[in-house]
């Protein structure tokens, strides 16, 4: 789904027909902001297969600190015999004598970038594989203020079911023998 499709689905669930009964003008930006916030939050909650990234880290003789990529989330594997530590956004080789220049395998989970500003046509793996987590979570938030706790809880349960479904999809994709880990 695109961000516009996610937005339209949310408006349909909360307000009915978004053309005949559009959301109040003051809520449009709030809904869009929540969608963008949840785009990142979905990735914080779970490491999906589409967040896996493999690269090569060039260890340079005499260099002991390496800045991690801005999208870095969590280390999976670093193929080196050197002792290392992760400190914030830095990979540090304390007390190790990185004495040779070599390339090592570096596997990590990364965040897919959330758009800095709203774009109706934006789509990525989060919006394709996890849109219902976002949709139901935003609907729950909106309904909490309008309808009360019971309807909000109903949609939060639906968001949790959508997350479980996406995690099941992740499990089956990881079982694919063509997947290289």
| Amino acid 46: pLDDT | 97
Digit-coded pLDDT (tens) for 79-116: 998 889 999 899 998 876 777 889 999 999 999 999 99
| Amino acid 91: pLDDT | 94
Buried-exposed string 18-51: b where 16+ CB fall within 10 A, e elsewhere: beeeebeeebeeebbebbbebbeebbeeebbbbb
Which structural domain range is residue 77 located in? 50-110
Q: DSSP label at 117?
A: S
* Token pair in block for residue 176: 């694919």
The number of folded domains in the chain is: 2
What are the backbone angles phi and psi of residue 55, rounded to the nearest 5°? -145, -175
Domain limit, last residue, from 63, 93, 110: 110
pLDDT mean over 23-42 = 95
Q: Does 180 have pLDDT greater than 70?
A: no
Q: Same domain, yes or no, for 26 and 41?
A: yes
* Closest listed residue to residue 48, CA positions, set 178, 177, 165: 165
Q: Same domain, yes or no, for 127 and 78?
A: no
Rg (CA), the chain: 21
Q: Same domain, yes or no, for 165 and 83?
A: no
Q: Does 127 have pLDDT greater than 60?
A: yes
* Closest listed residue to residue 167, CA positions, set 81, 54, 43, 68: 43
Separation CA 47–CA 43 (nearest Å): 7
Q: Same domain, yes or no, for 80 and 92?
A: yes
Digit-coded pLDDT (tens) for 142-158: 998 777 799 999 999 99
Digit-coded pLDDT (tens) for 56-87: 999 988 888 999 999 999 999 999 988 899 99
Q: Can you say whether residue 148 is alpha, beta or left, with left for phi > 0 and alpha for psi between -120 and 50 degrees? A: left
Separation CA 49–CA 52 (nearest Å): 6
Separation CA 139–CA 42 (nearest Å): 15
Separation CA 80–CA 58 (nearest Å): 11
């Amino acid at each position: 789904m695109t961000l516009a499709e996610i937005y339209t689905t949310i408006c349909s669930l909360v307000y009915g027909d978004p053309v005949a009964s559009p959301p109040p003008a003051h809520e449009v930006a709030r809904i869009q902001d929540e969608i963008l916030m949840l785009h990142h939050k979905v990735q914080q909650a779970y490491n999906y297969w589409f967040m896996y990234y493999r690269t090569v880290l060039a260890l340079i003789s005499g260099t002991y600190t390496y800045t991690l990529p801005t999208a870095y989330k969590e280390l999976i594997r670093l193929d080196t015999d050197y002792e290392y530590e992760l400190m914030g956004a830095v990979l540090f080789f304390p007390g190790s004598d990185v004495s040779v220049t070599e390339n090592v395998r570096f596997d990590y989970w990364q965040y897919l970038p959330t758009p800095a500003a709203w774009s109706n046509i934006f789509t990525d793996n989060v919006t394709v594989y996890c849109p219902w987590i976002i949709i139901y979570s935003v609907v729950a938030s909106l309904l909490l203020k309008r309808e009360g706790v019971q309807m909000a809880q109903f949609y939060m349960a639906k968001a949790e079911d959508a997350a479980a479904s996406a995690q099941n999809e992740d499990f089956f994709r990881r079982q694919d023998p063509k997947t290289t880990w």
